[in-house]
């Protein structure tokens, strides 16, 4: 059975993965998970395995690509990098996200004042 | 935009490369785990502890791998295949149940497919031409009838030649010529008329065949190619061309044995030699649905066959089809056509219509406009379709009942699956898959059944209809799509409720109790659901049966109807000497000698001739004046009769006398009214056959029927009364009323006039079976003139059968479907009660132990079943009362709410149901109380 989380949560994780790859260049699964945890100042402690579902979804849409390579410790690892289509999608999503969060923020402030 | 397509593609790839991807991911997870462990060791955890924490932070690896596998595959499809495998196993485990369900469904779906195939062939099949959507048929309408001199229609399309708001699709040839040469809206236009009955000689014994007269542009416009040789082309359609014909595939097979050497041969049509140049493809047997032609010949050649034919502006007999040019709209083409039509009928040399009558042309898509004989079968087919949908509902209810009963035996299975955490939706889907599998199997078997059924039905129709019914019933994609859709919907329909109830379980109760008993309250509810299904089945069968009963009584009424003359032991055959070139004066002599010869045959009691013959579908009508009473334009039926007609047909003479030789001589001199035309009976719309002629000195003698006297003369003495149809006629006798063209039409005032020429039907009253006289009759006619073909050789009772073809068809199919409905309902009832008796074995055993008699037990079980049947019948009667009125146009002599039919049908249904109750009830009486009680 597919563990169905809400579309928003799935989408958020996908967006974060995409952003991480855009900022950091090619990374393996462990690296992406670590990076997201660090950026969120360990607020977001994920079950690191869930990152892979996100990676598969992004791969299938052609927004990232994958290749085997060697890690810092010369260990064999699979590296993911963002594609051109991925960057385009990221830009669009970022815009979208900003707009929505701005709206939500305004609405919430408004609610507070009342 | 096409992301989902990309995803689908990579998922399918994932499904195919599953093992590699799995392996790959395992390595990836291993690497990840290593890195996490190293990180933990760096933080100072002992290696064991570091590994454990790393595992926890990564998550369960087998769970991750499952999720990963699902993302890289099509889980929906995979579970679907799983369900199918599981379902197949379940169905194999219960072969008895599976067979009953599949056969029930096959009957329901097969009946639907069969009737839909007929409906498809008659109503939906597209014209057998290239690109039918571009083809349009010309129709005309006006406020009042245009003043044409002759109008023929050959059932190509809907025609209404009444005085007010008439319409039709026959046009005069000059309008066709202008449409062809003057408009630029069409890439081509064609005109055709027919079939004409033509005498074929030079190919075995002389015969009558049906040819359609077509313009040279006919085949090119339709885009119909020749299978062998060539079709008629525009060069063939000029007066000085060599006369050619193109054969239909069927005629080539039947009359020429399908040999290639037939091409190039010459045959004589009405004594004019024609060369056969080709054969059309088998798919092109007709243009308008239900019509059929033996061959086609060019318009220019028709003149040689019927020199009297006129093709002036007054003769409206040509159907026109046009092929729209690319990019030309129907509206623009119509405007262009209308301009020519109005110019011709309003401003021609001899205007046929007035501007205030607003004559106009409308173009219809040919598919829609060329209705042919479609209307003849339309209502019956729709009613039958409705009946078979009801049958399918019964079959579905039946299988739903079976599934409900089986669900009890699967309670434990379901409970276990739910208990170990299967999602309810998942089980529901699996059960529905099983139902759809059942109905798919039923549908497959149903198609086989349907093709067998369709063969039987078409055979039935062909047998009695002669050449009326020539719709090709063959499989096509529409039927396939229909059957698949019906099967799928049926599966969902009957599977849903039982599946829902299977998954709504009290787990504790179900797991505690044995699989066979289920939970008591639960199975009672299930019995209630089963009862509702049986009531529905009985109710639906009641509706089907009531309709069938009414149709059956209609057939009986019509068959037992006294047509006013004796139809037994009469042989009828047609003769048309005009085709062989006889003139009216010669025809008189010819008929006299033919009649003398056949009347002299041993076993022939008497012989006569008439035009048309009674009850063959042919009808002539005209109007009379009765000047003395100041009555004008009184419509009458008209029959041309030969000597001894009333005696031969056994029509009683009520008063006066019948015709003598003097009357025939007198009539011939006047060459009077009602000249028979060359068209076969039934092919021409009712058109007055009266011919204008100069007044003769002495009035011609005629007879009238009793209805004529009742309606037009009332108390006046009919004998010696002078009436007139273009010329004075003197009534010399009155005969009893008879039916004329068919059995349903009420009796109209009729005038019998002496035959003076034209074609005729001979009638022979024989001492025994009329069929045995056919060879002798042929020889007798040959002796008079060996070039005269006999046509429509049938006994009068065969003619009556042919008239009742539709009634017999719907009555038979109706009874068949009615029986099917009852059988299915009874099987359902039987199944439910059997289940109930099994469930209550203990209770019954206890009752018997406490002293209940066998008759008490019998009464108890039967009563339970009978209650359901009575409720079902009551509901069915209400439903049927509401629905049978839609049958009223098909009924004769019986009201849609006929109490007798309803009572009889209810009794039949209840009787059959009692039988279905009796078997399980008897089983209940055989319950051994000891066994039943020890069972606990």
Kind of pairing between the strands at B621-626 and B728-735: unpaired
CA angle B830, B539, B536 (to 5 degrees): 65
B796 lies in a domain?
Answer: no
The whole-number pLDDT of residue B680 equals 38
Neighbours of B29 (CB within 10 A): 19
The whole-number pLDDT of residue B308 equals 64
- How many residues are given for chain B? 936
Please check whether residues B593 and B540 belong to one and the same domain. no
Please check whether residues B153 and B137 belong to one and the same domain. yes
Q: Which of B402, B405, B397, B389 is nearest to B534 (CA)?
A: B397
The whole-number pLDDT of residue B682 equals 37
Q: Which residues of A touch B423 (CB under 8 A)?
A: 1
From residue B790, alpha-carbon distances to B241, B527, B573, B762 in Å are 31, 68, 6, 10
Cα(B752)–Cα(B199) distance, integer angstroms: 28
A2 lies in a domain?
Answer: no
B587 lies in a domain?
Answer: yes
A48 lies in a domain?
Answer: yes
Could you report the per-residue pLDDT of A66-110, keeping only the tens digit for each? 999 887 778 888 999 999 999 998 998 888 888 888 888 888 887
Q: Which of B398, B417, B429 is nearest to B505 (CA)?
A: B417
Residue in this structure with the two tokens 């509706």, named with its chain if needed = B543
* Residue B50 Cα to chain centre, angstroms: 81
The reply to whether residue A76 touches residue B31, judged by beta carbons under 8 angstroms, is yes
Q: How far is A48 from chain B (nearest CA, A)?
A: 5
From residue B360, alpha-carbon distances to B136, B141, B258, B337, B341 in Å are 16, 6, 45, 9, 7
| Chain A residues with CB within 8 Å of chain B CB | 1-3, 28-30, 33-34, 47-50, 52-53, 56-57, 59-62, 71, 73, 75-78
Write out the residue range of the structural domain in which residue B845 sits. 519-562+804-936
B809 lies in a domain?
Answer: yes
Cα(A94)–Cα(A92) distance, integer angstroms: 5
Q: Which residues of A touch B6 (CB under 8 A)?
A: 60-62
Nearest Cβ partner for B59 among A1, A47, A76:
A47
Nearest Cβ partner for A48 among B7, B58, B70:
B58
Q: Which residues of B touch A60 (CB under 8 A)?
A: 6-7, 10-11, 71
Please check whether residues B586 and B715 belong to one and the same domain. yes
Q: Are B548 and B808 in contact (CB under 8 A)?
A: no
The reply to whether residue A53 touches residue B36, judged by beta carbons under 8 angstroms, is no
Q: Which residues of B touch A73 (CB under 8 A)?
A: 38
A15 lies in a domain?
Answer: yes
CATH of the domain at A63: 1.10.10.10
Q: Which residues of B touch A3 (CB under 8 A)?
A: 67
Please check whether residues B759 and B610 belong to one and the same domain. yes
Nearest Cβ partner for B6 among A3, A50, A61:
A61
Q: Which residues of A touch B32 (CB under 8 A)?
A: 28-30, 33, 48-49
Chain B's closest residue to A51, CA to CA, is B58
Nearest Cβ partner for A77 among B6, B31, B38:
B31
Please check whether residues B550 and B415 belong to one and the same domain. no
CA angle B86, B89, B91 (to 5 degrees): 110
Q: Which residues of A touch B67 (CB under 8 A)?
A: 2-3, 52-53
Nearest Cβ partner for A56 among B29, B32, B68:
B68
The whole-number pLDDT of residue B736 equals 96
Please check whether residues B557 and B599 belong to one and the same domain. no
**HEC-encoded secondary structure of B730-749:** EEEEEECCCCCCCCCCCCCC
The reply to whether residue B38 touches residue A73, judged by beta carbons under 8 angstroms, is yes
Nearest Cβ partner for B59 among A49, A71, A75:
A49
B785 lies in a domain?
Answer: no
The reply to whether residue B57 touches residue A47, judged by beta carbons under 8 angstroms, is yes
Q: Which residues of A touch B31 (CB under 8 A)?
A: 28, 30, 71, 75-78
Cα(B14)–Cα(B69) distance, integer angstroms: 8
The reply to whether residue B64 touches residue A49, judged by beta carbons under 8 angstroms, is yes
Q: Are B53 and B45 in contact (CB under 8 A)?
A: yes
The reply to whether residue A78 touches residue B28, judged by beta carbons under 8 angstroms, is yes
Please count the structural domains in chain A: 1
Chain A's closest residue to B53, CA to CA, is A47
DSSP letter string, B171-221: E-HHHHHHHHHH-SSEEEEEEEEEEEEEEEESSSS-EEEEEEEE-TTHHHH
B790 lies in a domain?
Answer: no
Q: Which residues contact A43 (CB under 8 A, 6 or more apart)?
A: none
DSSP letter string, B602-644: TTEEEEEEEES-TTSS---EEEEEEGGGTEEEEEEEEEEE-TT
| Chain B residues with CB within 8 Å of chain A CB | 3, 6-7, 10-11, 24-25, 27-29, 31-32, 34-36, 38-39, 57-61, 63-64, 67-68, 70-72, 75, 423
Of B717, B740, B767, which closes a domain? B767
Residue in this structure with the two tokens 């069927």, named with its chain if needed = B250
Q: Are B792 and B617 in contact (CB under 8 A)?
A: no
Q: What is the DSSP letter of B239?
A: T
Mutate to test the interface with B, among A36, A48, A73, A78 (most CBs of B within 10 A): A48
Q: How far is B503 from chain A (nearest CA, A)?
A: 19
Write out the residue range of the structural domain in which residue A54 sits. 7-113
Please check whether residues B498 and B543 belong to one and the same domain. no
Chain A's closest residue to B423, CA to CA, is A1
B797 lies in a domain?
Answer: no
Nearest Cβ partner for A2 among B32, B64, B70:
B70
Chain A's closest residue to B30, CA to CA, is A77
Of B369, B391, B425, which closes a domain? B369
Kind of pairing between the strands at B318-324 and B295-298: unpaired
Q: Which residues of B touch A50 (CB under 8 A)?
A: 59
CA angle B857, B859, B860 (to 5 degrees): 65
Nearest Cβ partner for B64 among A28, A52, A75:
A52
Cα(B929)–Cα(B935) distance, integer angstroms: 10
A28 lies in a domain?
Answer: yes
In Å, the largest CA–CA distance within chain B is 140
The whole-number pLDDT of residue B878 equals 94
A-B C-beta contacts closer than 8 Å? 74
Please check whether residues B877 and B751 belong to one and the same domain. no
Chain A's closest residue to B78, CA to CA, is A1
Please check whether residues B222 and B326 belong to one and the same domain. yes
Chain B's closest residue to A73, CA to CA, is B35
The whole-number pLDDT of residue A1 equals 30
Tell me whether the omega of the peptide bond preceding residue B612 falls within 30 degrees of 0, making it cis: yes
From residue B811, alpha-carbon distances to A11, B334, B814, B816, B881 in Å are 65, 44, 5, 8, 19
Of B722, B740, B767, which closes a domain? B767
The reply to whether residue A71 touches residue B31, judged by beta carbons under 8 angstroms, is yes
The whole-number pLDDT of residue B687 equals 39
Could you report the per-residue pLDDT of B309-354, keeping only the tens digit for each? 677 888 888 999 999 999 899 999 999 999 999 999 999 888 889 8
Mutate to test the interface with B, among A28, A30, A75 (most CBs of B within 10 A): A30
Please check whether residues B409 and B528 belong to one and the same domain. no
User: SS3 for B742?
Assistant: coil
- How many residues are given for chain A? 114
From residue B598, alpha-carbon distances to A109, B116, B143, B771 in Å are 112, 48, 51, 14
Please count the structural domains in chain B: 5
Q: How far is B506 from chain A (nearest CA, A)?
A: 25
Cα(B121)–Cα(B129) distance, integer angstroms: 15
Please check whether residues B215 and B254 belong to one and the same domain. yes
Stated as kind and residue range, the H or E segment containing B751 is strand B750-754
For chain B, residues with pLDDT lower than 50 are 467-468, 515-520, 672-696
Chain A's closest residue to B5, CA to CA, is A61
Could you report the per-residue pLDDT of B40-76, keeping only the tens digit for each? 899 888 989 999 988 888 888 888 888 888 888 787 7
Q: Which residues contact B185 (CB under 8 A, 6 or more apart)?
A: B322, B324, B325, B328, B332, B333, B336, B337
């Amino acid at each position: 059975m597919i563990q169905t989380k809400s579309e928003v949560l799935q989408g958020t994780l996908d967006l974060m993965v995409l952003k991480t790859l855009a900022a950091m260049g090619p990374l393996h699964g462990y690296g992406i998970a670590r990076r997201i945890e660090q950026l969120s100042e360990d607020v977001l402690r994920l079950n690191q395995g869930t990152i892979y579902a996100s990676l598969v979804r992004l791969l299938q849409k052609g927004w990232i690509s994958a290749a085997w390579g060697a890690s810092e410790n010369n260990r064999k690892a699979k590296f993911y990098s963002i594609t051109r289509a991925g960057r385009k999608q990221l830009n669009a999503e970022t815009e979208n996200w900003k707009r929505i969060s701005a709206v939500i923020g305004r609405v919430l402030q408004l609610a507070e004042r009342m | 935009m096409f992301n989902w397509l990309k995803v689908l593609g990579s998922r399918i790839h994932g499904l195919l490369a599953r093992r590699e991807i799995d392996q790959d991911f395992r390595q990836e997870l291993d690497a990840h785990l290593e890195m996490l462990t190293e990180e933990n060791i760096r933080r100072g955890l002992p290696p064991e502890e570091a590994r454990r924490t790393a595992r926890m932070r990564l998550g369960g690896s087998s769970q991750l791998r499952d999720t990963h596998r699902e993302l890289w595959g099509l889980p929906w499809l995979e579970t679907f295949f799983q369900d199918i495998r599981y379902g197949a196993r379940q169905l194999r485990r219960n072969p008895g149940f599976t067979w009953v369900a599949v056969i029930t469904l096959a009957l329901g779906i097969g009946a639907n497919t069969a009737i839909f195939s007929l409906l498809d062939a008659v109503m939906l099949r597209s014209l057998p031409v290239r690109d039918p959507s571009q083809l349009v048929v010309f129709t005309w309408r006006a406020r009042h009838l245009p003043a044409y001199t002759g109008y023929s229609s050959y059932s190509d399309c809907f025609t209404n030649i009444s005085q007010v708001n008439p319409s039709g699709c026959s046009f005069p040839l000059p309008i066709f010529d202008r449409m062809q040469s003057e408009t630029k809206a069409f890439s081509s236009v064609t005109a055709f008329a027919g079939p004409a009955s033509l005498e074929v000689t030079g190919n075995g014994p002389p015969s009558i065949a049906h040819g359609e007269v077509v313009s040279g542009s006919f085949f090119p416009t339709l885009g119909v190619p020749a299978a062998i040789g060539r079709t008629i082309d525009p060069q063939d359609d000029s007066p000085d061309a060599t006369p050619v014909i193109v054969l239909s595939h069927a005629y080539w097979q039947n009359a020429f044995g399908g040999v290639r050497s037939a091409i190039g041969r010459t045959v004589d049509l009405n004594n004019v030699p024609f060369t056969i140049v080709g054969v059309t493809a088998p798919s092109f047997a007709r243009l308008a649905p239900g019509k059929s032609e033996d061959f086609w010949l060019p318009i220019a050649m028709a003149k040689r066959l019927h020199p009297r034919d006129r093709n002036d502006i007054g003769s409206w007999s040509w159907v026109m089809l046009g092929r729209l040019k690319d990019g030309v709209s129907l509206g623009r083409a119509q405007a262009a056509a209308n301009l020519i039509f109005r110019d011709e009928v309003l401003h021609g040399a001899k205007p046929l219509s007035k501007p205030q009558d607003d004559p106009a042309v409308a173009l219809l898509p040919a598919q829609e406009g060329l209705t042919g004989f479609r209307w003849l079968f339309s209502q019956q087919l729709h009613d039958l379709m409705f009946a078979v949908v009801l049958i399918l509902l019964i079959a579905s209810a039946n299988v739903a009942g079976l599934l409900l009963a089986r669900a009890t035996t699967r309670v434990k299975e379901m409970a276990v699956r739910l208990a170990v955490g299967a999602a309810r939706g998942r089980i529901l889907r699996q059960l529905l898959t099983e139902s759809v599998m059942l109905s798919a199997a039923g549908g497959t078997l149903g198609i086989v059944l349907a093709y067998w059924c369709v063969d039987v039905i078409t055979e039935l129709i062909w047998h009695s209809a002669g050449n009326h019914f020539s719709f090709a019933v063959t499989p096509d994609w529409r039927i396939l799509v229909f059957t698949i859709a019906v099967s799928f919907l049926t599966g969902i329909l009957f599977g849903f409720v039982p599946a829902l109830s299977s998954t709504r379980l009290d787990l504790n109760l179900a797991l505690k109790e044995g699989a066979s008993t289920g939970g008591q309250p639960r199975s009672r509810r299930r019995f209630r659901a089963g009862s509702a299904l049986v009531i529905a089945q009985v109710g639906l069968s009641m509706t089907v049966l009531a309709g069938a009963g009414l149709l059956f009584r209609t057939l009986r009424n019509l068959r037992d109807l006294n047509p006013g003359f004796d139809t037994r032991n009469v042989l009828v055959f047609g003769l048309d000497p005009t085709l062989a070139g006889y003139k009216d004066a010669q025809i008189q002599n010819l008929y006299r000698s033919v009649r003398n010869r056949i009347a002299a045959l041993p076993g022939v009691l008497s012989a006569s001739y008439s035009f048309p013959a009674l009850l063959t579908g042919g009808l002539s009508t005209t109007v009379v004046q009765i000047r003395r009473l100041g009555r004008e334009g009184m419509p009458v039926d008209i029959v041309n009769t030969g000597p001894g007609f009333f005696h031969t047909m056994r029509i009683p003479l009520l008063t006066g006398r019948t015709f003598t030789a003097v009357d025939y001589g007198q009539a011939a001199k006047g060459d009077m009214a009602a000249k028979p035309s060359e068209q076969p009976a039934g092919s021409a719309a009712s058109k007055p056959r009266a011919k204008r002629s100069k007044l003769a000195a002495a009035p011609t003698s005629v007879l009238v029927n009793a209805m004529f006297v009742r309606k037009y003369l009332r108390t006046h003495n009919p004998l010696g009364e002078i009436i007139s149809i273009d010329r004075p006629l003197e009534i010399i006798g009155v005969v009893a009323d008879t039916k004329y063209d068919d059995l349903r039409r009420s009796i109209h005032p009729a005038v019998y006039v002496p035959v003076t020429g034209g074609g005729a039907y001979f009638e022979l009253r024989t001492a025994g079976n009329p069929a045995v006289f056919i060879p002798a009759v042929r020889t007798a006619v040959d002796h008079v003139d060996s070039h005269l073909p006999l046509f429509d050789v049938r006994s009068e009772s065969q003619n009556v059968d042919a008239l009742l073809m539709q009634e017999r068809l719907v009555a038979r199919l109706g009874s068949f479907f009615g029986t099917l409905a009852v059988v299915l309902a009874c099987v359902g009832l039987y199944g439910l009660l059997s289940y109930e008796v099994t469930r209550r074995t203990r209770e019954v055993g206890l009752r018997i132990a406490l002293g209940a008699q066998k008759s008490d037990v019998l009464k108890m079980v039967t009563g339970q079943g009978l209650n359901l049947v009575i409720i079902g019948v009551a509901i069915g009667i209400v439903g049927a009362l509401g629905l049978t009125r839609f049958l009223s146009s098909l009924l004769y002599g019986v009201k849609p709410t006929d109490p007798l039919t309803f009572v009889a049908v209810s009794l039949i249904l209840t009787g059959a149901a009692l039988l279905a109750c009796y078997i399980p009830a008897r089983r209940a009486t055989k319950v051994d109380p000891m066994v039943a009680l020890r069972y606990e």
